[in-house]
Amino acid sequence: SKSLEAKDIGIIDVLKKNNIEIKETDLGDVLCQLFDYKYPSFTLAPGVQFTEKEIVAKMKEKYGIDIEEKAEAIVAYYRKNYRPELLNDVKISLTSANVIAANDGSIVLIENEGNISLLTRATEKHIVVVGIQKIVPNVFDALIVAKIHERINNVDGAYISFISAASNTSDIQGKRVFGMYGAKEVVVIFVDDWRIKAAKENLFYKDILKCIACKSCDYVCTASRAFGNIYASKYGIGAINIVRDYIHNGIEAAVKDGLFLCTGCENCTNWCPVGVDLAEIM
């Protein structure tokens, strides 16, 4: 499932280089894999640019099937065929986290498809790669972050999961055994990378440490609306991912990503629910 931090530190690329198969689970990401498409048009709906006709034609080419050119038929196919494949073949699930509640170590995951909750419970090991800025003091603060996500994206999170331990049972003589129906092991990898340095040295981009990845800045960005995934870096689309490329690879990388396509309209800053002054950073 989507993990910006995994992309940040190059985990996905390393796994691929070591011939470890990566199976995306978000339908939009699955479609991008189907089309071998490098960049999504929108982070929260990565396959939204493909028409039903294009998807069905590609599925016929790839899978040798004939289905109706309707979204319902496409979803039904993947539910019937791809879902069992994931449950049978995948041993490790890799996710990020929307937020981590420090008081009891709860991992909070917000989703609408059910892919994250399905995989994190069905696999033997669940690995969470998350930036240290995602930590909040307690579950109440975590719920506030979850509600902000829902309000900004104007959708109800169909699933909000709180994972505080690996699956376990004590039903046999009171002995605690891990790995009943859910993951036997949960591993959380906290990513610092540039984050502490940005805060300590008061670097000009430290404001993005407040980012909760709601993508509201992409909704209102004039450059994103005009140029789509031309205005993007390898970390994702939009201004904030161009900043991330600058952090990792310098100003030349940011310019190549489309830094000067930014119009300075300040919509991103005005719309940000947590007060990131992204326009000033750009």
Q: How far apart are CA 256 and CA 252, in angstroms?
A: 6
Is residue 270 included in any domain, yes or no? Answer: yes
Shared domain check, 217 and 137? no
pLDDT of residue 231: 95
| CATH number of the domain bearing residue 8 | 3.40.50.10420
Same domain, yes or no, for 71 and 137?
no
| Domain end position, chosen among 170, 193, 216 | 193
Q: Is there a domain that residue 198 lies in?
A: no
State whether 56 and 84 are in the same domain: yes
- Same structural domain for residues 8 and 103? yes
The whole-number pLDDT of residue 153 equals: 66
pLDDT tens, N- to C-terminus, the chain (282 residues): 877 788 778 888 899 899 999 899 999 999 999 998 877 777 778 888 899 999 999 999 999 999 999 999 999 999 999 999 888 888 999 999 999 999 989 999 999 899 999 999 999 999 999 999 999 999 999 999 988 887 776 556 688 999 999 999 999 999 999 999 999 999 999 999 899 999 999 999 999 999 998 888 998 999 998 998 899 998 888 999 999 999 999 999 999 999 999 999 999 999 999 999 999 999
**Which residues span the domain enclosing 132?**
1-20+91-193
Q: pLDDT at position 79, please?
A: 96
Q: Is the pTM of this model over 0.85?
A: yes
- If asked whether residues 105 and 212 sit together in one domain, one would say no
Number of domains in the chain: 3
Last residue of a domain, one of 193, 222, 250: 193
